[in-house]
Amino acid sequence: MPKIFVDTASRPGMSGSPVIFKRSGIHGIIDGKLKLDTVIGVIQGFVGIYSGRILGKNELEAQLGIVWKKQVIDEIIDGDTKGKINV
């Protein structure tokens, strides 16, 4: 899937915002063993671009935010294909 859903309390106007993850702990353990690139502490990175939400019946119900994955954004940029505007 080119997009993921995230638990969010977003508002109108946030479309196009970068979505960043931040996680603390031990990262990069393989088969229970530390490796040379294992990180102990905080890691963060770019997830993708926020593009809207699926609303509940009211503001107190859960909302699902739609995030287009980093890989999809990279493919669009790498594709260097421009759309046509019909006037």
CB 53 within 8 A of CB 10: yes
Partner residues linked to 8 by β-bridges: 63
* Mean pLDDT value across residues 53-62: 81
* pLDDT band at residue 71 under the 50/70/90 scheme: very high
CA 56 – CA 50 distance, rounded (Å): 18
Spell out the domain ranges in the chain.
3-79
Q: How many CA atoms within 13 Å lie on the side-chain side of 51?
A: 14
- Is this prediction's pTM over 0.75? no
Q: Which residues contact 42 (CB under 8 A, 6 or more apart)?
A: 22, 23, 24
Summarize pLDDT for 10-26 with one digit per residue, the tens.
888 899 999 999 999 99
What pLDDT sits at residue 45?
Answer: 95
Number of alpha helices (DSSP H) and beta strands (DSSP E) in the chain = 1, 4
